[in-house]
Amino acid sequence: MNSGYIITSARERDIGFLAAIERAAAKLLIGHAPEAVLQETTGQDVLEKAQRVGHLWVALAADAPVGFAHVEVLEPHAAHLEEIDVHPEHGRRGLGTKLVMHVCDWATGVGYEAVSLRTFRDVPWNMPFYARLGFTVVPDSALSSALRAVVDDERRRGLDPSRRVVMRRVCAAGGASLGRIDQHSRTQTIGEPTN
């Protein structure tokens, strides 16, 4: 049996597992975000819609979801990585990187110019992590109205905007950047996990 992970488009049956992954991953942010925000999970209806339109991917271990990435399209020429979570039991194995790069490869493949996201400025596995993957900070003065609305929504929910940052990665021309992606099935196979 292959003990590796697979990144693939989410299946309808995967959606019920994602809230638990989101809550488990949120525990890593205790002290960085208000408790109320850490208790939030993405609505099942939102995830179901994302799954139907092909904007939701999962990391599978033994056919069970252990991480996911959720994209929203807020602007005509960019995909927004709304949520990415890996269950801490499967952390530090490159799954976060694989999920992010899978989204970037997908965005490139379907013609988006960039991928944007919102993350913590001062959490080591947030802004510095994304910077290593080619994301750069978007100055507040350069935010589109759609991304400004994301910032405003976070402020309303109690997140300190001074601790958060919008980042953007320009899509590379010419195909996948990590792993092997089957464009037909939208699946990426990853080798055996490392400890």
How confident is the model over 121-170, as pLDDT tens digits?
A: 999 889 999 999 999 999 999 999 999 999 999 999 999 999 999 999 99
User: How many angstroms separate the CA atoms of 59 and 81, rounded?
Assistant: 15
From CA 110, how far away is CA 165, in angstroms rounded?
26
What is the model's pLDDT at position 124? 86
Dmax over Cα atoms in the chain, in whole Å? Answer: 51
C-alpha closest to that of 51 among 71, 34, 35: 71
What is residue 132's predicted lDDT score, i.e. its pLDDT? 96
SS3 41: coil
Percent of the chain with pLDDT over 70: 87
Segments of the chain with pLDDT less than 70: 1-3, 173-195
User: Is the CA virtual torsion 184, 187, 191, 192 positive or negative?
Assistant: negative
- Domain range annotation of the chain: 5-189
CB 85 within 8 A of CB 21: yes
Comparing CA positions, the residue from 31, 26, 71, 75 lying closest to residue 53 is 71
DSSP assigned state of 26: H
pLDDT at 187: 54
**Given this model, what pLDDT does residue 190 score?**
52
pLDDT at 180: 35
Strands of the sheet containing 136-137, edge to edge, are: 136-137, 164-170, 114-120, 78-86, 64-75, 56-61, 5-9, 187-189, 180-182
Helix (H) or strand (E) holding 68: strand 64-75
pLDDT given at position 2: 37
Domain 5-189: state its class. alpha beta
